Structure formats: C-alpha cells, structure tokens
Amino acid sequence: MARSTVAGQARPKRGTLNKRAILDTSAALFQEKGYDRTSLDDIARALSVTKPSLYYHVSSKEEILLECVMTAYSNFQEEIARRDNPRENGRKRVETFLKLYLQIISNDIGVSMVLADDRVMSADGRAKYNSLRRILNNRLEELIGIGIADGSISVPETRLTTFAIFGMFNWVGHWNFRRTTTSIDSIFDRFISVIFDGIGTDKPAS
C-alpha cells in the first residue's frame, strides 16, 4: 500500500501552482515530518515556489490542514452515500463504513484526518475539525446501534465501542507505509476479525 512521498512527487511546473498541488504536497509532508514540524517554508520548497507565491493561495498552515481534512471528509461522505445499503444488516454496514474509512485515511490527503492535532489549532480550527470528527463518530455509533437492534452485532453499548474502533483504525495513519507491503485489504480483514471475533479463546488453559 504505497504512498506518494514528497521526494517522489512531480513538482508543478512554474506558473501552474494550484490548491490541489498544495494540499497533496502538504499532506505528504504532514505524514512524513508531522504537522508541528512542517513549516510553510518546507511546503514552498517542496513545491519549488516562493513563500509569497504560496500565500497567494493560502493564508496559513492551519488553513492547508483543514482543507485537507475537509476534502477527505467530503470524499468520504460522497462515497459512503453511494456504498451504504440500508437493506443490509448493521454489521455489514459497519464493515462498509470502516473499509471506506481505511481507504480514505490511507492516502496522503485523507491521512490528515487522523494526523491533525486539535491541541495546536486555533479555537476556530479546533471547532471545525472536531465537528467533523463528531459527525463520523456519531455515524459509526448509529450503525453499531442498528447492528445491536437487528442482532448482527453483540456489544453492551455503542459509545466506547465506537471510540475503540476509531482508535484502532486511526493509528494506521501513523504507520510508516514505506516500510510495509501489507495491503489495505489485509489490514482491514485483520481488524474486522479482531473487532467481531476477538483474540481470545473459549478453550480452557492447559
């Protein structure tokens, strides 16, 4: 599951700088170096442009981060609206949700959804970011509740279960993908097995 890296990206031709190129390059840098340790100078250098040229398109690093997050969120919402099938049981709908979520956060734009740190954001940026996170949390919790109601999921509550699942999936964004050949499908299958089948055993210890 290879990611594009800043070093491997084709730099935009002079005069062709646009918002998408800025988001792609910035998100790759955020994943590689961390949001805190990435500066606007780093982003301008990676794009082979001057810092004033960058300011023509964006006003701050936080604006770039939030646009990455909102782009990924919008992509997720559009795709889940197409894939989710209300006629399926809750477990299947949870699996569809999580498969798409993993795909989204495993690309450079989408990884910003899980690398963003609201502790270093402005109050306005923190509010925007957390509102999107709440929407995702609420939707997964709702789907788990549907599964409990139809009998396809057996857990005693939904809130902590939702937090646990997102904790598992969100950490994937911190992995070094350049050092693993594990596919998204393999990661998803393993996670789903842990979520629904567990890692324990009913056999008594010998």
- DSSP readout, 30-91? HHHH-TTT--HHHHHHHHT--HHHHHHH-S-HHHHHHHHHHHHHHHHHHHHHHH--TTS-HH
Task: Name the percent of the chain lying above pLDDT 90.
Answer: 64
Mean pLDDT score of the chain: 87
Find the mean pLDDT for residues 33-38: 87
Residue 66 scores a pLDDT above 50: yes
Residue-level pLDDT at 3? 44
Binned at pLDDT 50, 70 and 90, residue 91 comes out as: very high
Instruction: Return d(Cα 116, Cα 139) in angstroms, integer.
Output: 20
Residue 114 scores a pLDDT above 90: no
Instruction: Return d(Cα 62, Cα 50) in angstroms, integer.
Output: 18
Element spanning 191, H or E:
helix 184-197
The CATH superfamily label for domain 66-197 reads Tetracycline Repressor, domain 2 (1.10.357.10)
SS3 at position 186: helix
DSSP state of 13: P
Contacts of 7 (CB under 8 A, 6+ apart): none
Q: For 111-126, b where at least 16 C-beta lie within 10 A, e where not — what string?
A: bbbbbbeeeebeeebb
Binned at pLDDT 50, 70 and 90, residue 120 comes out as: confident
Find the mean pLDDT for residues 27-41: 88
Q: How many C-alpha atoms does 11 have within 13 Å on its Cβ side?
A: 11
